Structure 1
Amino acid sequence: MKTLFAGFALATVVLSSYASAQTYLCELNDPRGRNVIPPEILIEFSKDGSAKITDAFTLHYGIAPLKARFSEDNSKQMRARWRLKDVVNPRGQKATLDFSLVYKKQRNRAHVTFKALGFDNTDSGTGTCKMVK
């Protein structure tokens, strides 16, 4: 777990070099314990509305922060969708992973969903987010 936090600290430093509007750190629960819901997700919005995502998967596989396929940040909610391509699981199976996060600011509630394309695997988790920059 210390490695994960160190990775997020490093990612925060690296990402801070981008011109950003808001940066959120979301802490999430994986209720089924399948290790497919990242415990933490860092979302950094740029002034142009685009977002970059860093999570446990990008850190584990040494992937640079991912550009969100969709992002929105307004006074009521923050939303982001991102995709990890060609991730290999411990059984050697390759998959593309889709994630979607919605953060309702008034309630301080985050909801993330996971889908492994081409497989029946789906999962979801909930948690909270806070602005870190």
Structure 2
Amino acid sequence: MKRVFLSSLLLVGLTGTAAFAEKWECTFLGQRPDGVLRSQVFVDVNEGRAEAQVFDSLINKMHGAPISARVSADNEKRVTYKWSLKHVAVRRVEAARVNFTLTHLKDTNRAAFFAIAPTLLNDRIGGGAGKTFTVAGSCAPR
């Protein structure tokens, strides 16, 4: 019985996933492993290009698997992905919600990664007021 279940699960896992048009690995040097912005973000863009799956070590810690991101801009110059995480508590930041934006410039493969915490729940870095985190890096196909 256990073998049948595992075989079925494997079959669903192989056939029930969306097809990805592109896969990217974006790297941001100098990021702390316990910070809001992480040093690597993996992006799998769906065939229709309206959605993507994103994954980094913070998403892994909170969800254990990639999460959906929407493609908010896609033109000749850039593609921008957006997603949110709720109840984020890392290093010096605790926030009810953090909104993430990753923009990949197509011609140079440079990337900009932003996180906005509209309201902080602690006073370790000026609690109450919102905080924006930014870092520059690059993306490469994988």
Common fold by TM > 0.5: yes
Count residues with an aligned counterpart: 117
3-state SS of 1:118 partner: coil
- Which ranges in structure 2 are unaligned for 5 or more consecutive residues? 1-13, 121-129
Higher relative contact order (CA closer than 8 Å, sequence separation 6+): 1
Q: Distance in 2 between matches of 1:32 and 1:92?
A: 13
1:81 matches 2:82: yes
Query: Shift of the alpha carbon at 1:81?
Result: 0.6
Equivalences for residues 100-115 of structure 1 within 5 A? 100-115=101-116
Give identity over the alignment, percent: 26
Query: Shift of the alpha carbon at 1:105?
Result: 1.7
Q: Specify the alignment match of 2:98 in structure 1.
A: 97
3-state SS of 1:42 partner: strand
Report if aligned partners of 1:114, 1:124 keep a CA contact under 8 Å in 2: yes
Cα deviations by residue, 1:33-87 (Å, 9 ceiling, x for unpaired):
9822110001111112211110121112234311113344454322101101122
**1:81–1:33 Cα change, 3 Å:** same
- Which ranges in structure 1 are unaligned for 5 or more consecutive residues? 1-13
Deviates more, 1:93-102 or 1:104-113: 93-102
3-state SS of 2:104 partner: strand
Report if aligned partners of 2:21, 2:47 keep a CA contact under 8 Å in 1: yes
Instruction: Indicate the structure (1 or 2) with the bigger Cα radius of gyration.
Output: 2
Query: Shift of the alpha carbon at 1:91?
Result: 7.3
Deviates more, 1:81-90 or 1:30-39: 30-39
- Residue identity in the other structure for 1:44: D
